[in-house]
């Protein structure tokens, strides 16, 4: 095995070059950039807690959403720059646990769950713990070759950033409608427990690689993304609520789609017909 083979994979960055004796090498910017974005996502998520302590609920939710956007960028930039590393994977999971587990749990507790101090705190703890467990499961399976969901282009359970976004759904509706029913701590506690369960479940969920629109709807898809972005600027809370609801509605479709893929893989190969005994 040569040095290049030893560096491939998540255990080391692909741009790490062996040091020669008596020669110094500066730090590559492309190796730092993805981890810097991850650190920015962590700071954004934790800043959401600071806003919540001050009662700035809108800013608190936006800070966590911004952390989700940054979290979606860092991994893609790392792959683009070929700067994947075990350190980056561990830092990303730690940041996700804090930004999408602890931060939403505390924000929602301060927003409404503190009206039921005991049950509300248990709901917050359940959400934060389930997020950490999901990320621990992901880390434990990084080097596992046998991952049926991943090999088929699906995810196992609801991803941590998506889970945080779904947990905020009652807040989106509260901001859009100003109805205090959406701020009910009992309803909020049950909702958080449900999302926590979905994060650690073995349900196959859609990933970007499993969504493959037909080529003949390319222009319509581009137009739809543009309209969605405009809607986020005009009616952010209704748009976020619709996005969250759409994801939940797509979950049964994802499970059915994965079921079809699994049945196709399990189906035995059809034996070719024996034509040697046929007379001419």
pLDDT tens by residue, 259-275:
787 777 776 544 454 54
Lowest mean pLDDT among 10-24, 177-191, 263-277: 10-24
Q: What is the pTM (predicted TM-score) of this model?
A: 0.79
The answer on pLDDT for 14 being more than 60 is: no
- Cα 244 from Cα 163, distance rounded (Å): 10
Please report which confidence band the pLDDT of residue 10 belongs to, taking 50, 70 and 90 as the band edges: very low
Specify the pLDDT at position 25.
Answer: 58
Q: What is the pLDDT of residue 78?
A: 84
- Looking at the predicted structure, is the pLDDT value of residue 189 above 90? yes
What pLDDT was estimated at residue 149? Answer: 63
Region of poorest pLDDT, from 91-95, 143-147, 208-212: 143-147
Mean of the pLDDT values across residues 30-43? 89
Give the pLDDT confidence score for residue 174 in this predicted structure.
96
- List CB contacts of 113: < 8 A, sequence separation 6 or more: 119, 120, 121, 123, 124, 185, 188, 189, 192
Q: What is the pLDDT of residue 159?
A: 92
Please choose, from the candidates 5, 23, 7, the residue with its C-alpha nearest in 3D space to the C-alpha of residue 15. 7
Q: Is residue 114 classed as helix, strand or coil in its secondary structure?
A: helix
Predicted confidence band at 20 (pLDDT cuts at 50, 70, 90)? very low
Nearest to 111 by CA among 170, 179, 193, 42: 170
Predicted confidence (pLDDT) at residue 85 exceeds the cutoff of 60: yes
- pLDDT attached to residue 246: 93
Q: What is the pLDDT of residue 49?
A: 96
Q: Residue 19 pLDDT > 60, yes or no?
A: no
* Residues 215, 164: Cα–Cα separation, whole Å: 32
Greater model confidence, 259 or 44: 44
More confident residue, 8 or 105: 105
């Amino acid at each position: 095995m040569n040095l290049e083979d030893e560096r491939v994979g998540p255990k080391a960055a692909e741009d790490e070059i062996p040091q020669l004796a008596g020669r110094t090498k500066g730090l590559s910017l492309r190796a730092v950039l993805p981890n810097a974005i991850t650190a920015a996502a962590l700071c954004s998520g934790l800043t959401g807690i600071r806003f919540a302590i001050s009662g700035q609920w809108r800013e608190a939710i936006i800070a966590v959403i911004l952390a989700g956007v940054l979290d979606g960028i860092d991994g893609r930039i790392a792959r683009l720059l070929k700067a994947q590393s075990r350190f980056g994977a561990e830092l990303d999971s730690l940041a996700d646990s804090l930004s999408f587990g602890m931060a939403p749990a505390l924000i929602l507790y301060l927003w409404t769950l503190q009206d039921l101090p005991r049950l509300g705190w248990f709901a917050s703890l359940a959400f934060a713990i389930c997020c950490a467990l999901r990320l621990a499961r992901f880390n434990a399976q990084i080097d596992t070759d046998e991952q049926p969901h991943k090999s088929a282009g699906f995810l196992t359970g609801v991803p941590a950033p998506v889970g945080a976004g779904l947990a905020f759904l009652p807040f989106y509706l509260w901001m859009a409608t100003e109805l205090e029913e959406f701020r009910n701590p009992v309803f909020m506690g049950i909702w958080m427990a449900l999302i926590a369960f979905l994060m650690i479940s073995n349900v196959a969920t859609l990933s970007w690689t499993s969504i493959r629109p037909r080529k003949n709807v390319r222009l319509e898809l581009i137009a739809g993304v543009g309209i969605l972005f405009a809607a986020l600027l005009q009616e952010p809370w209704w748009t976020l609520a619709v996005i969250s609801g759409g994801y939940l509605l797509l979950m049964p479709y994802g499970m059915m789609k994965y079921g079809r893929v699994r049945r196709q893989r399990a189906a035995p190969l059809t034996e070719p017909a024996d034509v040697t005994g046929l007379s001419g």
